[in-house]
Structure 1
Amino acid sequence: MDQSPHPESTDINPIWTSSRTARQIHALGEVEKDISRLLSLAASSISLLTLPQTDNPDDNLPQGEERSEQFVLEVSEYFERLDSIQTAIRSSLAQIRHSRIAPSAINAPPPGFLPPSLGVALPPDSQSTSSRATRGLQEERLDRDAWKGILDALTRLKAEMDMRKSSAENTEMR
């Protein structure tokens, strides 16, 4: 059996092999995928433990002795994934300790913190409205387009007023 948790690791982008930190970031990305697979295995294992009478026809779950065998396979893979996840997390923590990263750089954010929807940004002012903090990308785009529309309308209005003013001055000069 292949001992590497990720046989497709030979197909990784060279950027992820450029430094030790990049390799650690890639490894944590793989841990995230493993956690997703772990949850999927847990769900399928639980469904295999249910009574066959409660299965939906479209679940495609095995029947009889095959059900027990499938459960054993799912649980075995579950624990293998769990082991690889804890190994990768321990390895990442050892890397952080070895790099002597300041603990303040890896502290958890304050309770109730919501990351900005548009990427990395300064924390919002305490005076800003709470509705602004919960807006997503679409809302921000709508807001941007509305302000662009307002600017266009005001620019056209100013140009129209300037044109009328200059034509009025020209008629007075005659």
Structure 2
Amino acid sequence: MSAPTQQIEDEIDPIWTSSRTSRQIYVLGEVEKDISRLLSLAASSISLLTLPQTDTEGDSLPRGEERSEQLVLEVSEYFERLDSIQFAIRSTLAHIRQSRIAPSTIQAPPPGFVPPPLGVGLPSVGLAAGKRSRGLQEERVERDAWLLVVDALKRLKEAKEADDAQSKDQMVFDDTS
């Protein structure tokens, strides 16, 4: 296992490390984030290319030599991101070719298909009539919400117990005086 793969596995949810395909899907999700960062870098690089006289008061763009240095840094990061995006897409395509996935299995969704709002759905086996299948992300959000509710209830219980103990100590102190 390579060092970057091990680093990915240490930082993410175990579901993304369960198979080579799931790791590839995770990498493509990271590519999506890199693309948004790439667009942000392009926008800021273009801003740095404008003449300093055209900067508005709200812009926090550097002046003079700092402007050139910042441009070099941003353009360097831009090309590093572009290279990593290109590598990730090529490795994913190589994975698809190596897996010998038949083109017939990769089909476009039917006309009028609307994807779930929060990601890929769980299998809909055993769903009651009329109940909508939730996406994996929706399931995780609900799980995390319940964990937060349990944590909040535990803290509330501890605070109440501490308050009760303090009240009891206060009553004992009042009785002895």
Q: Which amino acid aligns with 2:73?
A: L
1:104 to partner: Cα distance: 2.9
1:58 to partner: Cα distance: 1.4
The answer for the alignment partner of 2:19 in structure 1 is 19
Q: Any unmatched runs of 5+ in structure 2?
A: 121-177
Q: Percent identity?
A: 74
Q: Any unmatched runs of 5+ in structure 1?
A: 121-174
- Cα distance in 2, alignment partners of residues 32 and 69 from structure 1: 28
Partners of 2:9 and 2:17 within 8 A in 1: no
1:83 to partner: Cα distance: 0.3
SS at 1:101's partner residue? coil
- Cα distance in 2, alignment partners of residues 86 and 107 from structure 1: 24
The answer for the alignment partner of 2:38 in structure 1 is 38
Write out per-residue CA displacement over residues 110-140 of structure 1, whole angstroms, 9 at most, x where no aligned residue: 9xx66415568xxxxxxxxxxxxxxxxxxxx
The answer for the alignment partner of 1:72 in structure 2 is 72
Q: Which amino acid aligns with 1:77?
A: E
CA gap 1:63/1:115 in 2 versus in 1, 3 angstroms: farther
- Cα distance in 2, alignment partners of residues 106 and 38 from structure 1: 28
> How many residue pairs end up in the alignment?
116
Write out per-residue CA displacement over residues 71-107 of structure 1, whole angstroms, 9 at most, x where no aligned residue: 0000000000000000000000000001111123335
SS at 2:61's partner residue? coil
The answer for the alignment partner of 2:149 in structure 1 is none
Where relative contact order (Cα < 8 A, 6+ residues apart) is larger, the structure is 1
- Cα distance in 1, alignment partners of residues 9 and 61 from structure 2: 31
- Cα distance in 2, alignment partners of residues 60 and 54 from structure 1: 12
CA gap 1:118/1:21 in 2 versus in 1, 3 angstroms: closer
1:108 to partner: Cα distance: 5.6
The answer for the alignment partner of 1:90 in structure 2 is 90
Q: Which amino acid aligns with 2:114?
A: P
1:53 to partner: Cα distance: 1.3
- Cα distance in 2, alignment partners of residues 77 and 70 from structure 1: 11
Higher Cα radius of gyration: 1
Q: Which amino acid aligns with 1:87?
A: F
For normalisation by structure 1, the TM-score amounts to: 0.59
